Amino acid sequence: MLQIFLQGFAVYFIIWWMTLFAVLPIGLRTQADDNDVVLGTVPSAPTRFRAAFVFSLTTLISTLVYGLWYVCDTYFGWGFDALPQLGPSFY
């Protein structure tokens, strides 16, 4: 039972981490956009980082993606084992 939970958590963590990098640029305002570049920083640095928004949206999207994966794997049998093997088999 613990192994199943850890596998599910690992899949969710990977989905969450990949979603984070997709969500980060959403709504980003750079210092160059606001014409307020602070000395010693790059113009592409964010004006203000909205961590709560980014992490909430990341969690929401990754939960939906994980739920879709769980339904496909549990009810339809379309898990990672159903994907074609593109590389060589060493076992």
Break the chain into its structural domains and give their ranges: 15-30+46-78
Give CA angle at 86 (83, 89), nearest 5°.
100
- Stated pTM of the model: 0.78
- 46 three-class SS: strand
Report the range of poorest mean pLDDT among 1-5, 45-49, 75-79, 83-87. 83-87
Q: pLDDT tens digits, residue range 3-25?
A: 888 988 999 999 999 999 999 99
The tokens describing 43, both together, are 């113009």
